[in-house]
Chains A and B, each alone.
Chain A
């Protein structure tokens, strides 16, 4: 098979590191490799502290938070675990054992809630509508006296639907319930100002914005009750134990700094182009999620009568990397819980393809993938027993 240009259209799974990010990190591997914990022992420790604080301040400013309201973690999985289990531990004996999450949350939130359920907590899974939205009024009805936490994402990892976090936060605020939101895929792409929007805890990550893997953040509104359950040192305001990942933190902050509104508009252009072309040019396709209230970098479309893993494998052979909500793709053999969550059937889940754009994609990539897809889908539909008349 001839080697061809690789086009990576799975930027919600991982992104190519930006060289500028790597340059910003380099000194902290080779020259200033001390950690901030050593600040009272030697000057290298002070340099580390300064770098960490500067990175923290930069990121906090991006989301409208104070520098003491942002801690570094190893990524979004850890951030959501710290937030959800930390609140649960802090409030279980003071307020109650009831938690509310949406059905389409990503696995760190869903499985943290599941783990708490095993410990005797009660979990309400909120339905979403056909486009993936949580209804703030329905949330209101489900909040009880003993509800300690609501966790609803900023935008969905698969279908890109952006939740009305302002209204959701308002409901939580009025009822005095803490609100956690997973913003792994929206940081800098869907700007948010936490000075104005009542969110108490927010999960963030560098891997979605051309930053390094293995570094994330958690916003914790001043005064939020949170118990620390992973034991160790006193780092990160005694909220997250563990050696500080200084190069990671520096790279994370640099990555957030590089994103511009113009770039985000460019991604939105690619998103709209791919959605328009596929829906018009390839028959029997359905857009998953809302047409415009979706992340600028995300398009998710179901191709009826065909299975997603076959599409991704064919696309891969042509040099395009995408992901699918098909059961065959996941190691759990379960179709996308997001597509099922918004009322989609098996065929819609198995035939769903997610395209997520990033800095290194171009409009030519979009045109090329659509051309290739049209052929692949046609071929697979020829093989498929679905969607055509059965002969006698």
Chain B
């Protein structure tokens, strides 16, 4: 039989590690939604003195790459300090899985974001978060680096398709160099909205595609 995934991906897909929820978890987060096709919830318990992740569990609504990435990041993050865990990248997770198809990058990056969001949630709840900074073009640009361009599997910024970003009084305007009828335009737009929306001072987002 032939499969579109590596043996390690298939192994984690069949037998995902650390599945489930943690009751009264120290930190938790859910990234994605059925609308984007994938969803991941991550739960962590943290040892307050060493700042190490003592327990981690995940749940996934998604395809094989999503489930496998969720599984592998729980293994990668367990026992690490929050700062170490925050630095786990999609590339590391993908490498640990023996590689993922490029077109599946957007499904699998969600697990990484879920882990980071759960850490952020822990930090917010434990007063470890720094002061709220106003959203700037740089902040938006940084977030767009987390949005995958499914054509290449690399992010929007790296693939040079972000043509313009404007931030004015809580209104964010992003211009993407793809025709509006491009097959990936709706998916990209949805992900941009999702990344920018949580910024505390953003009131309105406009994503424009170029003819």
Q: Which residues of A contact B (CB under 8 A)?
A: 1, 3, 114, 305-307, 309-310, 313-314, 316-317, 326-329, 331-335, 345-347, 350, 382-386, 390-392
Contact = CB atoms under 8 A, between A and B. Distances in A.
Given A310-B67, A332-B183, A346 B37 contact: yes
Contacts of A316: 1, 3
B37 A326 contact: yes
Interface of B: 1, 3, 5, 10, 13-14, 16, 19, 21-25, 30, 33-35, 37-41, 59-64, 66-67, 103-104, 106-107, 150, 181, 183-184, 186-187
A316 B64 CA distance: 12
A333 B184 contact: yes
18 contacts: A307-B62, A307-B66, A309-B63, A310-B62, A316-B3, A328-B38, A328-B62, A328-B66, A328-B107, A333-B150, A334-B183, A334-B187, A346-B35, A383-B67, A385-B30, A385-B41, A386-B61, A392-B24
A309 B4 CA distance: 12
Contact of A383 (B5, B24, B60, B186): B60
B59 A383 contact: yes
Nearest to B25: A391
B183 A3 contact: no
Contact of B14 (A317, A331, A346): A317
Contacts of B40: 385
Nearest to A382: B19
Contacts of A305: 61
Given A310-B13, A313-B3, 12 more contacts: A307-B62, A309-B63, A314-B14, A316-B3, A317-B1, A328-B66, A329-B63, A332-B183, A347-B34, A382-B19, A383-B19, A386-B61
A301 to B, nearest CB: 17
B37 A328 contact: yes
B1 A307 contact: no
Contacts of A382: 19
Contacts of B107: 328
A347 B183 CA distance: 20
B60 A385 contact: yes
A316 B39 CA distance: 23
Contacts of A345: 34
Nearest to A117: B181
Contacts of A329: 63
B1 A3 contact: yes
Nearest to B42: A385
Given A333-B184, A346-B34, A382-B19, A309 B64 contact: yes
